[in-house]
Amino acid sequence: MSDQTIKKTVWTIGQLSRESGASARALRFYEDKGLLSPAREGQTRLYSVRDRARLTLILRGKRVGFTLAEIREMLDLYDLGDDQRTQMQRTHDKYIKQIALLKRQREDIIESIQTLETGIAWLAEQLSKNPADVAVTGASAYDALARACLDGVATGSSTHALTKHKFRRPKPH
């Protein structure tokens, strides 16, 4: 933080918006949700150092996938009077859970990319053939094998390139 920022104790909505990259509409939304509590001077919102710090944490939390409810829970633990021990412990626990979730999502994304790449390779192979040779039978065979893989009934004896990767239905969230 620069000396000028330390000296500054309030920001208007426009100033905080420009500094943070969050829109004025987002700042008003966070206020409506009780995450920020700017003072008012007439119609002008005046954001404090505390509001600025909370906004930084809100934006960081959103960037790593926390919901606003989760962010609020972590922020609201600040004032318990226990030197932020409870806040730090709950935040620590939430970070660990979020990392596990993001790692699972990464695995799902990797599998999805592999599935799409396999499909692209098969499609490229089919497109390189004479259209009369491919016809409907090739597409039907691909569709049948893909459905079998998705249903978990494809066997290891299949020689088709699609069986190189595990197919599975997406997990419900």
Burial 122-143 (b: 16+ CB within 10 A, else e): beeeeeeeeeeeeeeeeeeebe
3-60 sits in which CATH class? mainly alpha
Q: What is the pLDDT of residue 153?
A: 53
Backbone phi and psi for residue 10, each to the nearest 5 degrees, phi listed first: -140, 150
Residue ranges, comma separated, of all CATH 1.10.1660.10 domains in the chain are: 3-60
Q: In angstroms, how far is the first alpha carbon of the chain from the final one?
A: 40
Residues 92 and 74: their CA atoms lie apart, in Å, by 10
pLDDT tens, the chain, 173 aa long: 455 555 678 999 999 999 999 999 999 999 999 999 999 999 999 999 999 999 999 999 999 999 999 999 999 888 888 888 999 999 999 999 999 999 999 999 999 999 999 999 988 988 888 777 666 556 676 676 677 677 765 444 444 444 444 444 455 55
Q: What is the pLDDT of residue 128?
A: 87
Listing DSSP states for the chain in one string gives --HHHHH--EE-HHHHHHHH---HHHHHHHHHTTS---EEETTEEEEEHHHHHHHHHHHHHHHTT--HHHHHHHHHGGGSSSTTHHHHHHHHHHHHHHHHHHHHHHHHHHHHHHHHHHHHHHHHHHHHS-HHHHHHHHHHHHHHHHHHHHTT---TT--SGGGGS---PPPP-
Residues 91 and 95: their CA atoms lie apart, in Å, by 6
Residues 112 and 118: their CA atoms lie apart, in Å, by 10
Q: What is the pLDDT of residue 79?
A: 81
Q: What is the pLDDT of residue 52?
A: 95
